[in-house]
A and B are shown apart, each in its own frame.
Chain A
Amino acid sequence: MLHIIGRGHMTEPTASAERVKVFLAWIVVLIPAGWGVAQVVSKSAALFR
């Protein structure tokens, strides 16, 4: 069972497509998260002025 499902045994095109989906999924959440962190960091700078 495991060797069938394990990622290392997928055909190459499927694996590539899956990698793109993983990348896009992370982009969707990291963009707003990064924007939020940037807002906080810019405000925190006032503490050290």
Chain B
Amino acid sequence: MFLDRDHSIAKPGFSRWRVPPAALAIHLAIGQAYAFSVFNLPLSTLVGVDKPAPTDWKLSTIGWIFSTAIVFLGLSAFTFGRWLEEAGPRKAMFCSAMCFGGGFLVAAFGVHVHQIWIIYLGYSVIGGIGLGLGYISPVSTLIKWFPDRPGMATGLAIMGFGGGAMIGSPLAVALMAHFKTPASAGVVETFLAMGALYFVFMMFGVFTVRLPAPGWAPAGWNPASGAGQPNAARRAPPAPDVHVDEAIQTKQFWLLWAVLCLNVTAGIGVLGQASPMIQEMFPGVIGAAAAAGFVGLLSLANMLGRFAWSSCSDIIGRRTTYMIFFLLGAVLYALIPTTGRVGSVTYFVAFYAVILTMYGGGFATIPAYLRDLFGVMHVGAIHGRLLTAWSVAGVAGPVLVNYIREYQIAHGVAKANAYSVTMYLMASLLVVGFIANAMVRPVDASHHWKGAHD
């Protein structure tokens, strides 16, 4: 069957540079999830149209659509990671496209009949499963195609997830403007159109993706001598394979879990609060339009950091890259309250842009870090299990930022200064991450896989 793993093996002459666009097609599509907030206001006025009616959903109710989708992303990556390794990337990407596109269609029906639980079922549960499958499916494939540059290859794909919001947000706004009528915000039609568009776009990835033939290696690449590596002297030696069930019993897995969780916690809380934060720290200087520009700039930094840092990790090593994230991140977070006090918008924006490159870089570099420690055999499945750290950070980060801010304001601290404690706390979290990363050592030989390879 076309979707089977065996049918997706590349024929001789196939260029590996066709695989990153396939991965990008999936990640650019599912990255739309980060832009779901553009639907929040229209969904809250479905009945009243111009203003919320008593029967309209509250924003807090609508907010659960995105949060639940991210939880199901983690759960699905955890659950289906092992299956993905057996089924191959094409079948996994196809299932991802069916779930993500289909989720939009079910959610459109939920909007049509005004039943929030149907939207939860469609976008959050079914779509969330598509997110998880789509997120991890290209990763192990790219690592197999680019054993000489695993960081750069996975960074390319995961950069798409960061960039997906940049397409999803203006696309949703344009479609809603197109379908809007005096009696409707056009959400149903927009969901239907986006479901169909994203399905078609993801199918491009399904048709394009290939697996390398067994024993394939890039021309001129020799893992034993280090020839063909970006920096042979500092490259990580190819790690022996570790089975996914064995990997999660190692200290290294949980250290990397902590590394990802702490890096994401420090960034994700700020991303959600970026617009009000810059307006409150620079009252009278930054308005709503400029704040929206700040949010856009952070998205761009987040996206570019994914490619730049993961590529850089191929040269300086994964451990060193995370050392930089944690050390530089802690210093920049500690300096942010000072930029507010001296009223320097430029430094504030620049520091945050750098922090967000490292937030994105943390996501993009982790698959190559896993490959360095646990080998290639089950790297997709291990990555799927590690993504539970993201689910935890996705709740912890915003809660920390919001709770501490409200506590400070309730105790008489001026809004402009209410973020200082949060910034120092984020710096402390990054110091803990630094320690966890410093403790990472190669996996003991007793954990190495001794059976036949898949």
Whether chains A and B associate is yes
Query: Chain A interface (Cβ within 8 Å of chain B)?
Result: 1-2, 4-8, 10, 14-15, 18-19, 21-22, 25-26, 28-29, 32-33, 35-37, 39-41, 43-49
* Residues on the B chain within 8 Å of A35, using CB: 167, 170
Number of A-B residue pairs having CB atoms within 8 Å of each other in the complex: 96
Q: How far is the CA of A11 from the CA of B300 in the complex (A)?
A: 41
Contact status A25-B293, CB under 8 Å: no
A15 to chain B, nearest CB (A): 7
Pick from B15, B166, B293: contact of A7, CB under 8 Å: B15
Contact status B170-A49, CB under 8 Å: no
* Residues on the A chain within 8 Å of B22, using CB: 25
Contact status A8-B17, CB under 8 Å: no
Contact status A32-B167, CB under 8 Å: yes
Contact status B24-A29, CB under 8 Å: yes
Q: Please tell me if B347 contacts chain A, counting CB pairs below 8 Å.
A: no
Q: How far is the CA of A30 from the CA of B435 in the complex (A)?
A: 39
Given contacts A2-B219, A6-B219, A47-B349, contact A22 B18 (CB under 8 A): yes
Q: Please tell me if B25 contacts chain A, counting CB pairs below 8 Å.
A: yes
Contact status A33-B21, CB under 8 Å: no
Contact status B21-A46, CB under 8 Å: no
Contact status B289-A46, CB under 8 Å: yes
Q: Please tell me if B52 contacts chain A, counting CB pairs below 8 Å.
A: no
Q: How far is the CA of A44 from the CA of B201 in the complex (A)?
A: 27
Contact status A5-B163, CB under 8 Å: no
Contact status A18-B293, CB under 8 Å: no
Name B's interface SS: helix
Name A's interface SS: helix
A35 to chain B, nearest CB (A): 7
Contact status A40-B18, CB under 8 Å: no
* Residues on the A chain within 8 Å of B284, using CB: none
| Contact-residue bracket for chain B | 35 or more
Contact status B24-A18, CB under 8 Å: no
Q: How far is the CA of A34 from the CA of B217 in the complex (A)?
A: 32
Contact status A33-B160, CB under 8 Å: yes
A27 to chain B, nearest CB (A): 9
* Residues on the B chain within 8 Å of A8, using CB: 219
Contact status A32-B21, CB under 8 Å: no
Q: Which 9 pairs of residues, A with B, have the shortest CB-CB distance?
A: A36-B166, A6-B219, A47-B293, A36-B167, A25-B21, A46-B293, A40-B296, A44-B293, A29-B24
Residue of B nearest to A5 (CB): B12
Stretch of B208-216, B253-261, B263-271, B407-415 at the chain-chain interface: B208-216
Chain B residues numbered 292-310 whose CB sits less than 8 Å from any CB in chain A? 292-294, 296-297, 299-300
Given contacts A2-B217, A28-B25, A49-B290, contact A39 B13 (CB under 8 A): no
Contact status A33-B300, CB under 8 Å: no
Contact status B166-A21, CB under 8 Å: no
Contact status B18-A25, CB under 8 Å: yes
Q: How far is the CA of A26 from the CA of B160 in the complex (A)?
A: 13
Contact status A37-B13, CB under 8 Å: no
Q: Please tell me if B262 contacts chain A, counting CB pairs below 8 Å.
A: no
Q: How far is the CA of A22 from the CA of B20 in the complex (A)?
A: 10
